[in-house]
Amino acid sequence: MQSIYKSLTKIVDEEFVSNQKEELYIYSQDPGMMEPHEPDFVVMPKTTEEVQEIVKLANKEKIPIVPVGGSLSLSGLVIPHQGGIVVDLRRMDQVLEVNEESRYIVFEAGLTTGKLKAYLEKYHPLLRFSIPDAPPSATVVGNIVIHGQGRLTQQYGFNSDMVTGMEVVLPTGEVCKIGSGSVSPYWFSLAPLPDLAGLFLGWFGTTGIITKMGLKLYPKKKLRDIEVFAVEDPNLVPDVIQRVTHTEMSEDIFTGAQPYPPVFKDIIMIGILLTGDSKEELEFKRKMIWDALQCHIDSKEGGFMMMTPDVKQDLLEMPTSSTTRFADVKKGGGFEYCGPIIPVEKFPEAFTRLLEITKKYGITFGNAGRVIGRSHSMMFSFGYPFNRADPENIERTKNALHDTNVASLDIGGVPWKPEVPAQKMIMEKMDKSTLELMQRIKKVLDPNGIMNPGNWEVE
């Protein structure tokens, strides 16, 4: 082990290599509720070459290696279940290129969503990316690796649908470019080549370490506003979503339900964000959306909520820190959520299951859903705050999480960014040939099974 430490300090400046208890402890866990496991080393490389050398070393020594971004996916995807080397990528956070005409950006894998937002605001105020509501210390790549969703997902799909290129260090140490960037100096598109990006998206780092990424940027309008449509009956939600997406007038559509504070009790909110370059544009879009929902207004079953300016401000914030504040609801420093991707018409069923589960376990909840594409699917989160200092509460929440995964699959959804037990449940249900294909791909890319072991793994 000492020799591996030595080798690591030859690759990366010694300051950025640690095998001390404190770093091992911190990198043994994420803020979710999966069992921690300590790595043997933590390293923070600065360049692709350093990453490459680290991977080669791990591959030669057959020790596990786990790429880490912001560690905020909450489902233990960065926990080194079998020890080994944790590679914290956040020293690699440079923006390498912004192409304003072809609207794409190339950047390093450790760039945080917060810094990218600030960078674009400062240097390219007419461009934006699909920022998720994760804390700003989440990395853009980490978010994309797990098929995250953000503010532009209703318009343009999963954030992973916006990738235009990558540079990847393969588990065997080769550095490989994906997309147009492999042929041309321009990282504008994955097409028309065979789509190799799929070998790394949704794989949780088990097939290689992404070191650079190309990503689509989108027009940024000057003004933003929000309307929140409230209903009591979950059965109405899919229709509301249908009608609003039909207008093609909104930036982002989310759902929210929570029993506390009282003003949100017993209602389901459908947040509809609007953008415009002028007041007129904004008003036009607003009017279209109001008109689209007139039938629910006429029946008195739904209506646009009255909001104080501070509530509005909260909802317009990017990322919305109120999502993060959910962790303090129980004054317990944590929340866990299962956010299956479901067909939109399954909202009512998912909602019913959510209420059943929280009732069964006597826990509180927050639902936050996000429409993906023009109602092509949605993320439906069953979110449960828990108290880190209360083992009994943790146990109950864990059981609720288990039931939630079961329910998600039951209703025909697929758990998003599943923790290892949920991955197993998915794989059990998965078409056998598909599973076989997945395992074969993994084996080909990572013959020694060093990459984030435990994930997408059949025993």
Partner 1 sequence: MYELKIDEKTCETCPTFDCLVRCQYIDIDKDTAKTEMKKMISGEDSFVLHDCVTCYACEEYCKRGNHPFYLITDLQEERGILPMPKPLKTQFVNISVPTRRDIIQFYGAEEPVISLCLFPQYTRLFSEEKLFEELSIIIGRYFFCHLMYLHSGNPSLIRERLPKIIDNIANHGFKEVIFFHDECYSTLTSYTTAYSIEVPFKPIHFNEYLYNKLKDQQTKIQPLNAKVAFQRNCSARLTPNVEDFVDDIFNLIGAERVERQYDRENALCCGGIIRGQQRYDLFVDVQTRNVDDMLNAGVEYCVFQCPACFDSLSEKVAEKGIKPIMMHDLCLLAIQGSDK
Partner 2 sequence: MMYDYADQIHRCFKCGYCKFSNNYTDFNCPSYNRFRFESYSTGGRLWLIWAWSKGEIEWSEHLANIVFSCAACRNCVEQCPMRFNEDIVDWIIGARSDMVEKGLIPASVGEFLDNIHKYGNPWGMPRNERDIWAEGINRYTIDDDNEYLFYVGCVGSYEKQGQQMAKSVADFLRTTGVSFGILGSDEDCDGNEVLFTGEKGLFRELADKNIEKFKELNVKKIITLSPHAYNSMKNKYGGLGEIKVYHYTQVFSEIINSNNIELSDLNIKVTYHDPCFLGRYNSIYEPPREIIKGIPGVELIEMERTRENSFCCGGGSGNFVFDLLGRSSNSPSRIRVREAYETGAELLIVSCPSCYCMLEEAIKTEGLEEKLMIKDISELVIESIKNK
Ligand X SMILES: Cc1cc2nc3c(=O)[nH]c(=O)nc-3n(C[C@H](O)[C@H](O)[C@H](O)COP(=O)(O)OP(=O)(O)OC[C@H]3O[C@@H](n4cnc5c(N)ncnc54)[C@H](O)[C@@H]3O)c2cc1C
Q: Which residue ranges make up the site for partner 2 (CB under 8 A)? A: 15-16, 18, 20-23, 25-27, 30-31, 42, 44, 70-72, 88, 90-91, 112, 114-115, 117-118, 121-122, 135-137, 321-322, 324-325, 327-328, 331-335, 387-389
Using CB under 6 A as the binding rule, whether residue 72 contacts ligand X is answered as yes
- CB under 5 to 8 A by kind: which of partner 1, partner 2, ligand X, none does 363 bind? none
Helix (H) or strand (E) holding 215: strand 209-216
Which one-letter amino acid corresponds to residue 373? G
Using CB under 6 A as the binding rule, whether residue 166 contacts ligand X is answered as no
Of 17 and 289, which CB lies nearer to partner 1 in the complex structure?
A: 289
For the residues of 393-431, what is the DSSP string, one character each? Answer: HHHHHHHHHHHHHHHHHHTT-B-SS--HHHHHHHHHHS-
Name the token pair of 316.
Answer: 């317009």
Nearest to 5 by CA among 71, 76, 63, 92: 63
Which residues, 172 to 191, sit near partner 1 by CB under 8 A? none
Residue 64, CB half-sphere, CA atoms under 13 Å: how many?
20
Question: How distant, in Å, are the alpha carbons of 62, 203, 233, 384, 415 from that of 412?
Answer: 38, 21, 21, 21, 10
- CB under 5 to 8 A by kind: which of partner 2, partner 1, ligand X, none does 302 bind? partner 1
The phi, psi pair for 65, rounded to 5°, reads: -140, 130
Residue 433, CB half-sphere, CA atoms under 13 Å: how many?
0
Identify whether 319 is preceded by a cis peptide bond (ω within 30 of 0): yes
Q: In angstroms, how far is CA 12 from the centroid of its own chain? A: 29
- CB under 5 to 8 A by kind: which of ligand X, partner 2, partner 1, none does 27 bind? partner 2
Q: Contact with partner 1 (CB under 8 A): which of 98, 196, 267, 394? A: 267
Q: Contact with partner 1 (CB under 8 A): which of 304, 355, 373, 394? A: 304
Q: Contact with ligand X (CB under 6 A): which of 34, 42, 89, 257? A: 89
Residues 6+ apart with CB under 8 A from 173: 52, 55, 56, 59
Are the CB atoms for 112 and 68 separated by under 8 Å? no
Parallel/antiparallel/unpaired status of strands 223-231 and 268-276: antiparallel
Minimum distance of ligand X from residue 372's CB (angstroms): 10
Rounded to whole angstroms, the Cα distance separating 249 from 273 reads 9
Of 69 and 302, which CB lies nearer to ligand X in the complex structure?
A: 69
Using CB under 6 A as the binding rule, whether residue 204 contacts ligand X is answered as yes
Of 324 and 352, which CB lies nearer to ligand X in the complex structure?
A: 324
- CB under 5 to 8 A by kind: which of partner 2, ligand X, partner 1, none does 261 bind? partner 1
Site mask, partner 1, residues 224-253, x = CB under 8 A? ------xxx---------------------
Q: Which stretch binds ligand X (CB under 6 A): 7-15, 68-76, 272-280, 283-291?
A: 68-76
Using CB under 6 A as the binding rule, whether residue 130 contacts ligand X is answered as no
Using CB under 6 A as the binding rule, whether residue 132 contacts ligand X is answered as yes
- CB under 5 to 8 A by kind: which of partner 2, ligand X, partner 1, none does 69 bind? ligand X
Minimum distance of ligand X from residue 175's CB (angstroms): 13
CB count within 10 Å of CB 443 equals 11
Give the binding site for ligand X (CB under 6 A): 66-74, 77-78, 89, 109, 132-135, 138-139, 141-143, 145-146, 148-150, 204-205, 209-210, 323-324, 452
